[in-house]
Structure 1
Amino acid sequence: MKIALVQDGLMCRAGGEQVALCFHKAFPDAPIYTQCYQPGLTFPEFQTCDIHTTWLQYIAKTDDTMKKLFFPFGVWAMQSHDLTEYDVVLMSGTHCAKYVKLNPDALVISYSFTPFRLAWDPTSYAQYANSTGLRRKLFDFVVKRLRIIDFKAAQRPDFFVAMTEETKERLKTSYHLKKDIQIINPPVNVNNFYVTDKPKDYFLVVSRLEYYKKVDLVIDAFNELGYPLVIVGKGLQADEIKARAKSNVLFMSGLSAQELADVYSNCRAFIFPQHEDYGITPLEANAAGRPVIAYGTGGVLATQIPVKDNPSKATAIFFEKQTTDDLIAAVKRFEAIEDQFDSAFIRIHAQSFDEAKFIESIREFVIEKYTQHRKAEALTIK
């Protein structure tokens, strides 16, 4: 079985890159094909991998630039990857991984986080939502073209794998997929985190600073509460978001793995305000034994145990509306039961999502489908 791995890009340390790294651990001899790769911006483990990039690598030096150049340059760049020599192609991402050149007889498996957000949910981007007039018309033209090419490319994979039931249904709806879609939850590397008995007094957000992440909502709530808040991350809206924060809010970025583990372990609780397709960060907080205060929809429904009667058997408090008042109320509810959360229970819960289980599930799925694929080929030849 000659297998290649494909990932949208390796330009930051986020959930997609964690999945790609687990693919490498499942198939360590397989080369990785991607749009751009900057070793200093992503996980250091990739430095030992056989990574093939596109010509866009010489232009896009950051994740933000790579995203801005995706249409049309990212599409053209990924089309330059020729993978016709491979029997199996295992890809992960949302947008450009599926544009590589493939052998028509190859088995193609797509671990898709969600349908490409700009094509199928453009209002989640501030640039689109705030656009008017000619700029909006230009955006609409691009979105229409993206839907056409994204839909066409999505018909090539033989199998899709989804993160959650919600993303599974989203893939089926957007791409009109008829085959059943397997669900394999993304991983968290529990061993990267530790539990402390004496957390400090701050609340924590770890997120890209972008419109749909709702970090501005958390800042508004904590501006009113006055409680210490640490925000780890960077992104397109960083300047705008930082400008609205009061002195009780501390921004951090570029942390090492150990520094990030320290920040998680020492927080009172982790704040997760967005509707996320999945969300690795709440599980990272759990791996550090810390409870989560989350907007109760999307991926957290698959990864968190909300408080009902017994906080010691829960990992999170949910709030129902993405409003400042609802988040503040959730923080107040947390304070009333804070001492009842069990950090050992929360850590054990995170272990059920550990990357070792994910790696084994992916390996078994690929081998099973490849075996079936070879048998089907043999029957066709006969």
Structure 2
Amino acid sequence: MVSAAPRVALLHEWFASYAGSERVVEQAMAVFPDAPLFALCDFMSEQERGFLGGRRPTTSFIQRLPFAKRKFRGYLPLMPLAVEQFCFDDFDVVLSSSHCVAHGALTRADQLHISYVHSPIRYAWDLQHQYLRESGLTWGLRSMLVRMIMHYMRLWDHASADRTDVFVANSQYVANRVRKTYRRPCEVIYPPVDVEAFAFQSDKDDYYLTASRMVPYKRVDVVVEAFRQLPGKRLVVIGDGPDMKKIKRLAGPNVQLLGHQSFAELRRHMQSARAFVFAADEDFGITPVEAQACGTPCIAYGVGGSLETVAAGRTGLHFEQQTADCVADAIRRFETEADRFEPAAIRAHAERFSIERFRKELAELVARCWDQHRQSSTVQATS
């Protein structure tokens, strides 16, 4: 007898912009088209919310709090309470997309909770001290208050992890952090990358490319500064953000700052670049995969997701530190080895992260875990 498909609910923390975690939710909706959406709040603009296909998520009380549209992240201390108020009684499986509190949803013993973890709360765990430094909160009354909130969040985060039946991470890097933080096993399903939107091109021009939001942790500054040591090499920079003034001060005559560009222009530059340079410490990092989908090799910081998305010696190179000297040395090394990087092989590597692969692996995981959960529940009920 074939068992009926489980009734699935999708839980996301918030909808405010279309970024990496929203791409995961978009494809999860494609796998489970009848699954309703839940979110702490939904402030997605009409211009960006097309990927939701007209769906409006069920939201929490945070949606209605004062100034929430602009300052909802400031309600972080209330988010554990908010996620615990959702009622999932009508569903068999809760599939959460979590980088903050979604894994802490309340479910019954006969229900299955699978949490796709983009990251444990980094600013409460391994990045707390960096967050305090960058926010100017290393001392004083506000620093004490924030530290107390982070302490409370860690206690709740660790305790609530026991509510999740199955953890799934977006990379081995994040899976290791899940094991460290929650002491729980964790499977890996790489997030979906729309490799088909980035057409392959074997002919390359003589320039390097980096593309990113201009925010401190992306470390665009060290890439730009590296090219001051490489006056004979050209760098094109695409992106905008708070660090743009700093980047302009660092840029030499061989660096072209294009600011924000359309998707078509970004793709065109990725297709033609000699190599893509990526200096961020990312949990996964979609942009290097998009560049490789164009057949373009990557020169990436050898930490985090880049170790899994960029195959050293086959699709690119890694550098060991986020410094201009290390980036410049990696580019010099690339110049001596450029002929070994075959664009067609680079494209084939990128296809390992496709949308189709993500949908297949997610559907198989939910079906397998639900069958195991039902069988386990049946055995316990009869014993």
> TM bucket by the smaller chain?
0.7 to 0.9
Q: Does 1:219 align with 2:219?
A: no
CA contact (8 A) 2:77 2:153 kept: no
Q: Secondary structure at 1:298's aligned position in 2?
A: coil
Structure 1: which 5+ runs fail to align?
Answer: 308-313
Residues 1:348 and 1:88: Cα distance change in structure 2 (over 3 Å): same
> How do residues 204-353 of structure 1 correspond to structure 2 at under 5 angstroms?
204-225=209-230, 227-232=234-239, 234=241, 237-238=242-243, 241-242=246-247, 244-246=249-251, 248-253=255-260, 255-256=262-263, 258-307=264-313, 314-353=314-353
Determine the C-alpha separation between the residues in 2 that align with 1:192 and 1:260.
11
Mapped to 1, the partners of 2:110 and 2:45 lie a distance apart of: 33
In structure 1, what residue type is equivalent to 2:175?
K
2:361 aligned residue: 361
1:82 partner SS: coil
Give the 5 Å matches for 1:107-122.
107-121=112-126, 122=128
Spell out the pairing of 1:25-174 with structure 2 (5 A cutoff).
Answer: 25-35=30-40, 36-40=42-46, 42=48, 44-57=50-63, 59-61=67-69, 65-66=71-72, 68-121=73-126, 122-125=128-131, 128=134, 130-134=136-140, 135-174=142-181
Q: Which moved more, 1:347-356 or 1:47-56?
A: 47-56
Distance between the aligned counterparts of 2:61 and 2:124, measured in 1?
A: 24
Worse overlay, 282-291 or 208-217: 208-217
Shift of 1:84: 2.9
* Corresponding position: 1:8 with 2:13: yes
- The CA deviation at 1:250 is 1.6
The 3 A distance-change label for structure 1 pair 214 and 31 is same
> How far apart, in 1, do the equivalents of 2:301 and 2:54 lie?
38
**What RMSD over aligned residues (CA atoms) do the two structures have, in Å?**
2.6
Q: Distance in 2 between matches of 1:151 and 1:220?
A: 40
Q: Which of 1 and 2 has greater Rg?
A: 2
Letter in 2 for 1:358: F
Return 181-190 or 323-332, whichever deviates more: 181-190
| 8 Å CA contact 1:219, 1:249 repeated in 2 | no
Q: How many Å separate the matches in 1 of 2:218 and 2:120?
A: 17
Instruction: Name the SS of the counterpart of 1:83 in structure 2.
Output: coil
SS at match of 1:290: coil
Partner in structure 1 of residue 3 of structure 2? none
Deviation larger for 351-360 or 128-137: 128-137
Distance of 1:144 and 1:37 partners within structure 2: 28
- Residue number among 183, 186, 189 corresponding to 2:191 in the alignment: 186
**1:193 positional shift:** 0.7
Please say if residues 34 and 54 of structure 1, whose CA atoms lie closer than 8 Å, have aligned partners that are also in contact: yes
Do the aligned residues in 2 keep the contact of 1:85 with 1:103 (CA within 8 Å)? no
Relative distance call for 1:255 and 1:53 in structure 2 (3 A) is: farther
Q: What residue ranges of structure 2 are gaps of 5+ in the alignment?
A: 1-5
Q: Is this contact kept in 2: 1:39–1:46, CA < 8 A?
A: no
CA gap of 1:324–1:267, structure 2 versus 1, over 3 A, is same
Does structure 1 conserve the Cα–Cα contact (< 8 Å) formed by 2:107 and 2:163? Answer: no
1:43 CA displacement: 6.4
Identity %: 32
What amino acid is the match of 1:301?
A: L
1: distance between equivalents of 2:36 and 2:244?
37
Deviations 1:178-231 (A, max 9, x none): xx3222222212111112344444433333433332222223223444533213
The one-letter amino acid paired with 1:52 is: T
Cα 1:43–1:190 shift into 2, 3 Å: farther
In structure 1, how many angstroms separate the alpha carbons of the residues matched to 2:134 and 2:257?
Answer: 29
Is the CA contact (8 Å cut-off) linking 1:92 and 1:112 kept in structure 2? yes
